[in-house]
Structure 1
Amino acid sequence: MVRLFRRTPTARGRRGIERQGRIIDERIGGALAAGRGRSRSDGGAGEALGDEGRAATTLVGRRVELAQILDAVDAGRSGPRAMLLLGEAGTGKTALLAAAARHGREVGSLVLSARGCAAEAEQPFAVLHQLLVPLLPKAGDLPGHQRQALEAAFGVVPATPGHDRKSLRVAVLNLLAGVSRHRPVLLIVDDVRHVDRDSLDVLGFAMRRLTTEAVTVLLAARGHTAPEVPDLPVLSLAPLSRREAARLLDAQPEPPAGRARIDLLEQAAGNPLAIIELCRAAREAPTGGGPPQTLRIQEMFADRSRALPAATQRLILYAAASPDQENLQTIMAAAGAGADLGMWAPAEDAGLIGISGGRVGFRHPLVRTAAYDGAPAHLRQRAHTDLAAVLGAEPERRAWHLAAARTGTDESVAAALEDTAELAGRRGGFFATARALERSAECSPDPRDRARRYAKAIRAVQNAGDPSWARELYGKVAALTRDPGPLGVAACGAGTALSLFGRQREAFEALTRHPPADGTTSLSLAAAAGAVAYQSGLPEMRRSLPGLLDRTERKDGDTPDADSSYAGLTEAGAADAVRAVVLAEADPVTHAPPLLRRLGRRRKPARPPTGLAETARLHAIAAIAWLADETDLCVTTFRQAYDLLRVHGSIGVGARSFVPMASALVDSGRWTEADELLEEAATLAAVHQWSHVQVDVAALRATLRGLRGRTGGEPPDDPVWTAVGLEENRATRAHLLRAAGTAAMAAGDLDEAFRHFRRLFDEDGVPAHYFLSPRSVVDLALVAQRTGRREEAAPVLAAVRDAVGDRPTSRMTLLLHHAAALAGAPRDAEHHFRLAAVNPAGDQWPVARAQARLHYAQWLRRKRRPLEARPLLSAALETFVRLGAEGLADEARGELRASGVAASPSRADPLSGLTAQQQQIVRLAARGLRNREIAEQLMLSPRTVSSHLYNVYPKLGVSSRHQLRDLFEDR
């Protein structure tokens, strides 16, 4: 629900609307016509590559840096500009310089480039010659002694005993200044650390004096400390974010999936070159197994590594063989090196490793790969055996090294790894648990044990939120056994994976195909099927859910399967909550409100449970609250669940709940928190290739941008909008249509907005998605009123009234009154407006409440009752300004002026500038909780709570808890 009045969209806004509308139309039309839709791959949508091929991929995640560099190149037309790029090898310095050179040529600059070389670092003026040799024909314009000094330095003429460096410096300065008077000059020097000192001396002299000429200088150097060059603005290239690293990986040919994908991203640590080369190595690995072909990677560091003493190379191998970078003492003991740290010195001097805090760290991610894969197989095996021998007191790490040293199966090693997985699971380390269980299965000689351990690994992978890996493991279980127990657990992981890939029909079939062995496994399958049914929006799936729940009832003598994904559901009523959410997903109108009330009446245990059982219970209650339109309870409960997950470092369990949570935050006016959650969800969706979540997040961001009244942003990239088949992902379709309609309304194109909102319902007005479509009924009614299409909206309003039943939720009651006031019978408009704008229940949804007041006030003003409209407009304006809904605030101000009131600026939301965690702390403090109580509730330390309050008080303009309470009285 966004702005009401019609205005002419800007040219850029109009282009964005048209493009976004075309994307939506083509995708929805194609999906519905074909009756199906598939992602181009099982992963997310990667960034399309341009004509530059591989070079373009290195610029993924460098948009901000590239913009700064190109700005410097453009600014060189009006004055000198200089910049120093710093970053480790492979971070994209050379690619950015190449992009700057291309841009410089495109805008008409003369581009002069050079690169330092270690072999020429001792040769005087080597780089200066590379850089300026194209300008030698211009040297004839210089005074004789300067020309002679320049030609002598370049070896064109013999050097004379009397020539001095000052003449050379001045000659270069005058040469560049003279050329720049006719054409801007761009000087680019890469690898500055290998530039000879004579060249640096002359270039530094010139840079310090080129204060008015159109000369831009771009330098690049390895590392993060500036070399000996004049003081320049520094642009440091940090590792790519997890999201951008995933995008770069997806841009490579045949990127790995599953565990290999996660391992590669972790090993690369955000280094673009490492991502590209490790992907290449994985792609070229022998099909029959064995280590990847890493000869290219080894050659990158060959010169430095071959020069090391044999003892140092041995130490580096032992360090590389340690997956968690064992402490220094362990590595040296395993290698038999004693306590002499001097053995590491050659490697430190070569820039290969660094020692700090009793640990060994590799300077570049590829150094570790080169050191390990470059060693003969028998030396790698010996390293793991020696490391296992000194780790007798640490069974977790010892088991890994024993497994790495084995060439076949070994039940003792498999059992040790399974025990290791149990320890990791109790700590909540789901990725570590999954890795250990998968390796345990690989070491298992008995196929039944192998299948059982793979199934347990799927459970951990499902908790970690990685669908590609779960699908891989499912294939292994299905090939090993027909036992319904492991197959049921595996099917749960496979179904969840297919759903996150956007393949809902396949997911539902996978979840309902295998007869489960016990009630808890059945419940895990039913819970996953309920989520699939909600995402798909397909009636036939929802009708099947009650039957699936009938299979979850435990029979006498049944014992929970320890390997079930919900083995702990009997704890603290978690199973009841999960059963309830499946019923609510099947029929929210009938089941969600009463089930939520029943769960709320349950007595809380004296000691609240923790772990996955409590996480499952909280997620279920929050989902039911979402379906029952209890938005505040939904947000609060999801927050509690996420806090538990973050303690365990695995928010991936919440993959399917991010979109409902973000939607609830948007609807309840918590937009800053929504921004943070959507950013986190976008990162996880890119890393783990949650296809439909990527699309949903993009759509919600576009919706939020429209609600804020911003029309300048471009719609999401085409691949993101078209990554899933919309006919079987009706929830995603609803999010996309709402986003497109909201963007059109923000730009003032109400005809376009009507077209999008109307497609949330079929020809007879029946909601396309049984839950999400009715929540946009006011949007449709609003644009129908403004475009003279009341009659076209009438069947939709009638169908929505039928869909929500005789006892709709408070939210749907308010929305239906609001819609009826806008597009219903004119004689009943005031009655419906009053019910929509006055009911206190509407305070949960401040945007909708403020819009109802705005629309009611507009109706009153048209009826020549401005005095009654003014308080409604003032209240609406305060809400819009507080939330940051700029377009709606402007509209409310205009209405106030028209009603005879000079609208004064309203105060913005004081919490909007705080992080989500700071907002939680402030809210609890305002309720009177002490620091220790807040810390216990949020699982923080009291010192952290105190620090946050100390920092936020000045931002809020308060100095005590009492003032915090006053701050919240009006909220």
Structure 2
Amino acid sequence: MLRGREHDQRAIEDLLDGARAGRSGAVVIWGDPGIGKTALLAHAVERAEGFRVLRSTGVETEAELPFAALHQLLRPELARVATLPEPQSDALKGALGLGGGAGQDRFLISLATLSLLAEAAEEGPVLCLVDDAHWLDQASADALLFAARRLDAEAIVLVFATREGFSAPGLPERRLDPLDAEAAAALLDDRDPGLADATRARVLGESRGNPLALIELPRTGDPLKPLPLPRRIQEAYEARIAALPPNARTMLLLAAVEGTGDLGVVLRAAERLGIGAEALGAAEGILSPDGGTVTFAHPLMRAAALHAAPFDQRLAVHRVLVDVLHDHEDRQAWHLAAAALGPDERAASALERTAARARERHGHAAAAAALERAAELTADREKLATRLTEAAVAAADAGRPERAQGLAERASRLVDDPRAMARLADLRARVAFERGSVHIAHDLLVSGAGRVAEFDPVAAGLMLVDAGRNAWQLSDPERLRDVAAGLRALRLRPEDGLETAVDAVAAAAESLNRGPTEGLPAMRPLVDDARRIDREGYQLRINGAFVAGLVGDFEAQREISSALVEECRTLGMTGWLPISYVTLASAELYLNRFRGALADATEGLRIASDVGQPHRAGYLTGILAWLAAVQGDDARCAELAASCADHFSITGIANGTAWGEWALALLDLSRGRHTRALDRLEGAMAGPVRHQIQAVHFAADQVEAAVRAGEPERAKKPMARFEEWAAAARLDWSDAVLHRCLALLESREEHYLAALRSHARPFERARTELLYGEWLRRERRKREARTYLRAATETFHRLGARPWGDRASAELRAAGEAVVASADADKQADLSPQELQIVRLAATGLTNREIGARLFISAKTVSYHLYRVFPKLGVSSRVELARLELGAS
């Protein structure tokens, strides 16, 4: 029985009951040392009858060994690795040092972790317990958190117990507070019923409701003096250790310094020191041998064993462990470093090799730590600069920008070589970009390119292309013009492979500085190049997809982007997925495939958050805000648009806020708040949004808002802006929108008819039909009006554009026709974005496992959602799914 923890126990039991019913769940338990986290995990085990229980404990000395904790957790299930899809199996084997493919994408490893746990759950529910999560190595933490956030229908419970220092965004949390006075007194009476009243009162006062303190403080004979917890508890442990025989104390020190719990290593080291296995018996109660492992009863006992030993003894133990760990090079390297008293090239080189192995397994955080420690042991200036630079790169790859920035700055003070200086500038720019300092990132890239332009123009060109991208996102014409001029001055050769990228930057500069007439024609060849490349060339293809959106070729943008998403999913190239989803969701939005855009933007946002790409997340948030506006979800639209504005205030990147402002204006327009919509769009045009492509597209909304607000003179500027762009674009859809704008301004029927002849995008066509129907009704041609209003109503309802559908329905009733909702027009509206993603892939014939691999969820979750989706869509098989137009609206 756990005193005072009834609500926490019930929460754990609810998770277990959910798993028995086929539902998964996760929770993070926070609390100070000794507060009862481990005891709550033990309670979970007691209540987990029929569960497969997997355990892992973070170990401070293993925090720099990639996937150490994951290996510990999954060890009982490793025989199942062979049953996973081959890419996942190879990735997990490589990560855990079992063979397979090294250097796999870290999210493929994370997906393999989820799949392996789901496989284990096929035989019954699974309980995964992770204690001392604050000491997990970063690679293990990433994989387990990835799995925890995607648990759904696998019958898995994942519980993390941790102090401060562990970040688990998106997971439910429970914080354990100190016991109240009644529970603390009851616990003390349970453990030490015979305490004298004075001692009892002192223990209750000193413990401050900490359960471990209540148990341990009475065991020491020292006077109870006021000391902060957990130091007071550690002192009690030190007193117990001091009473042990010398060999037992050394055995404790060996186990504490070794850190991983490898009993064989501890005993071999003890033998070298002349200590027999009987010393383990003398340390019983503090050390607990179990099979091939040995653990401390509590982490603070390990801390006490380390603290109680003199420095020279700890040093000697590290040296003995170096000798016995000859088959474990990574662990040996860290003990070598711990035994070093000054610069030590042997230890530094060993850590450098450890870092290389860690990076092959995507253990970038571990590589950064090893290289940073290697640098501390390095006397040679050139080697020191190199190791600091590599540590900074690894830290950036690990998603630790602050650490990377500090390491890069230290390295920059040591290097003189222009190439090394340029590389550091590139790295610092990358870090600055991810931290939201886009202006600084741009300036660092331009400066770094200038250092190497003379003798490495290709490297300089790549840096300037990145600088150009930043200038575009900042809506900074002057910076973009300067970058374009710098690229031209490099005199790159065709064989350098940068010609299309240079042209794209130059064309973007023309678009920002002189308008679209000059820029659009020069951009189109890049789109054609991107469509011709089947594999590789990811940067060119992404640029091509982005530029396709700028020139209004949304079919090409969708074609390129969907191929990239498919390829990245298949190959596990997660880092490329967010930007691929940005361009894919944009294309589907502009093509009015709103449900597909919603599914793709939602999935892209989830992955962007996972991989730490906030700028992609900001853009995708803007797309979701626009879609919420079309759906008439006022609260969600406002929330997402506010998030875009916050992101812009931090980063200065205008893409997301352009979407957000347009979304709010579109919502106002659909609700009949015409002046408000017009004011908002004019306000947006007064800032950096005027340089973004969204300003071209919402020009038509400005025109409509101005006309319907009775202020047609305010339509002149947006009309001229769109007319200029349409003349340069020469596209059917832009001609259709242009005719609709002219129809509104001139009230001439031929423009409505011309627009309808050119329209291909359903939402835009329905908006034209609505406006034309309204015009016909005002002209007292109600019978003709009903034809167009009926078509508009049906399209809006099919697309889920509720406020527009309501407006069209009202007009249709005013034209004399009752509105009857279609019985099956909106079946797909009931699907969540994830359900739509699943059925779209299922319709192509992929298996549940293949779908799970593409969407980074388990096959069991896929099966669960398909079971729920079939009745919603009125189908009973995958064959019938293939006949539906999934995501086409």
TM-score by length of 2: 0.62
Instruction: Describe how 1:118-129 pairs up with structure 2 within 5 A.
Output: none
Amino acid at match of 1:885: A
Correspondent of 1:835 among 743, 747, 755: 755
Correspondent of 1:893 among 809, 814, 819: 809
Matched, 1:913 2:831: yes
Amino acid at match of 2:443: E
Matched, 1:760 2:680: no
Amino acid at match of 2:234: A
Shift in Å, 1:597: 0.7
How far, CA to CA, are the matches of 1:641 and 1:326 in structure 2?
45
How far, CA to CA, are the matches of 1:343 and 1:876 in structure 2?
85
Does the CA-based 8 Å contact 2:625-2:663 persist in structure 1? yes
Does the CA-based 8 Å contact 1:362-1:368 persist in structure 2? yes
Correspondent of 1:671 among 594, 598, 603: 598
How far, CA to CA, are the matches of 1:634 and 1:679 in structure 2?
22
How far, CA to CA, are the matches of 1:371 and 1:595 in structure 2?
65
How far, CA to CA, are the matches of 1:446 and 1:471 in structure 2?
22
Q: Tell me which residue corresponds to 1:518.
A: 456
Amino acid at match of 1:891: R
How far, CA to CA, are the matches of 1:836 and 1:734 in structure 2?
28
Shift in Å, 1:774: 1.4
TM-aligned CA distance change 1:883 to 1:619, over 3 Å: same
Amino acid at match of 1:890: D
TM-aligned CA distance change 1:496 to 1:838, over 3 Å: same
Residues 667-692 of structure 1: CA deviation (Å, up to 9, x unaligned): 5412133234334445665xx8x4x6
How far, CA to CA, are the matches of 1:889 and 1:317 in structure 2?
74
Correspondent of 1:781 among 703, 708, 715: 703
Shift in Å, 1:849: 4.7
Does the CA-based 8 Å contact 2:568-2:576 persist in structure 1? yes
Residues 804-850 of structure 1: CA deviation (Å, up to 9, x unaligned): 6523556655544444444x3322x652564367533x3xxx54454
TM-aligned CA distance change 1:472 to 1:338, over 3 Å: same
Q: Tell me which residue corresponds to 1:738.
A: 662
Structure 1: runs of 5 or more not aligned: 1-61, 69-85, 94-117, 119-189, 195-220, 229-258, 279-294, 559-569
How far, CA to CA, are the matches of 2:296 and 2:504 in structure 1?
48
Residues 915-936 of structure 1: CA deviation (Å, up to 9, x unaligned): 54x6455434434567898799
1:791 is paired with a residue whose SS is helix
Shift in Å, 1:542: 1.9
Amino acid at match of 1:627: L
How far, CA to CA, are the matches of 1:718 and 1:345 in structure 2?
59
TM-aligned CA distance change 1:806 to 1:276, over 3 Å: closer
Q: Tell me which residue corresponds to 1:299.
A: 231
1:526 is paired with a residue whose SS is helix
Shift in Å, 1:964: 1.6
TM-aligned CA distance change 1:319 to 1:425, over 3 Å: same
How far, CA to CA, are the matches of 1:655 and 1:371 in structure 2?
47
How far, CA to CA, are the matches of 2:462 and 2:136 in structure 1?
27
Does the CA-based 8 Å contact 1:777-1:815 persist in structure 2? no
How far, CA to CA, are the matches of 2:763 and 2:301 in structure 1?
54
Matched, 1:964 2:854: no
Shift in Å, 1:418: 3.8
Shift in Å, 1:868: 4.7
2:698 is paired with a residue whose SS is helix
Shift in Å, 1:757: 0.9
TM-aligned CA distance change 1:756 to 1:500, over 3 Å: farther
1:806 is paired with a residue whose SS is helix
Does the CA-based 8 Å contact 2:468-2:480 persist in structure 1? yes
Residues 608-655 of structure 1: CA deviation (Å, up to 9, x unaligned): 55xxxx554554344334434444654565566567777898856667
Residues 449-486 of structure 1: CA deviation (Å, up to 9, x unaligned): 33334434444455555543443233123211132212
TM-aligned CA distance change 1:87 to 1:226, over 3 Å: farther
Amino acid at match of 2:881: L
Amino acid at match of 1:590: P
TM-aligned CA distance change 1:767 to 1:520, over 3 Å: same
Shift in Å, 1:338: 6.7
Does the CA-based 8 Å contact 2:465-2:501 persist in structure 1? yes
Instruction: Describe how 1:812-823 pairs up with structure 2 within 5 A.
Output: 812-822=734-744
1:498 is paired with a residue whose SS is helix
How far, CA to CA, are the matches of 2:256 and 2:470 in structure 1?
43
- Structure with more of its chain in helix, by fraction: 2
Q: Tell me which residue corresponds to 2:547.
A: 624
Does the CA-based 8 Å contact 2:364-2:394 persist in structure 1? yes
Does the CA-based 8 Å contact 2:322-2:332 persist in structure 1? yes
Shift in Å, 1:758: 1.2
Shift in Å, 1:536: 0.5
Shift in Å, 1:777: 1.7
Bigger RCO of structures 1 and 2 (CA < 8 A, at least 6 apart): 1
Q: Tell me which residue corresponds to 1:596.
A: 527
Q: Tell me which residue corresponds to 1:274.
A: 164
Does the CA-based 8 Å contact 2:530-2:540 persist in structure 1? no
Residues 785-814 of structure 1: CA deviation (Å, up to 9, x unaligned): 221222112112202333565235566555
Residues 85-128 of structure 1: CA deviation (Å, up to 9, x unaligned): x98763599xxxxxxxxxxxxxxxxxxxxxxxx9xxxxxxxxxx
Shift in Å, 1:712: 3.7
How far, CA to CA, are the matches of 1:696 and 1:812 in structure 2?
23
TM-score by length of 1: 0.57
1:959 is paired with a residue whose SS is coil
How far, CA to CA, are the matches of 2:470 and 2:443 in structure 1?
10
Does the CA-based 8 Å contact 2:401-2:431 persist in structure 1? yes
Amino acid at match of 1:529: A
Does the CA-based 8 Å contact 1:440-1:453 persist in structure 2? yes
Shift in Å, 1:533: 1.3
TM-aligned CA distance change 1:576 to 1:785, over 3 Å: same
Amino acid at match of 1:709: G
Q: Tell me which residue corresponds to 2:148.
A: none
Residues 587-608 of structure 1: CA deviation (Å, up to 9, x unaligned): 5623333211123234x4xxx5
Matched, 1:540 2:462: no
Matched, 1:750 2:750: no
Does the CA-based 8 Å contact 2:30-2:162 persist in structure 1? yes
Does the CA-based 8 Å contact 2:658-2:689 persist in structure 1? no
TM-aligned CA distance change 1:504 to 1:942, over 3 Å: closer
How far, CA to CA, are the matches of 1:192 and 1:933 in structure 2?
38
TM-aligned CA distance change 1:798 to 1:373, over 3 Å: farther
Amino acid at match of 1:729: I
Does the CA-based 8 Å contact 2:582-2:619 persist in structure 1? yes
Does the CA-based 8 Å contact 2:736-2:758 persist in structure 1? no
Shift in Å, 1:771: 2.2
How far, CA to CA, are the matches of 1:371 and 1:810 in structure 2?
77
Does the CA-based 8 Å contact 2:355-2:368 persist in structure 1? yes
How far, CA to CA, are the matches of 2:283 and 2:767 in structure 1?
68
How far, CA to CA, are the matches of 1:938 and 1:664 in structure 2?
20
Matched, 1:494 2:425: no
How far, CA to CA, are the matches of 1:335 and 1:705 in structure 2?
66
TM-aligned CA distance change 1:747 to 1:940, over 3 Å: closer
Matched, 1:503 2:503: no
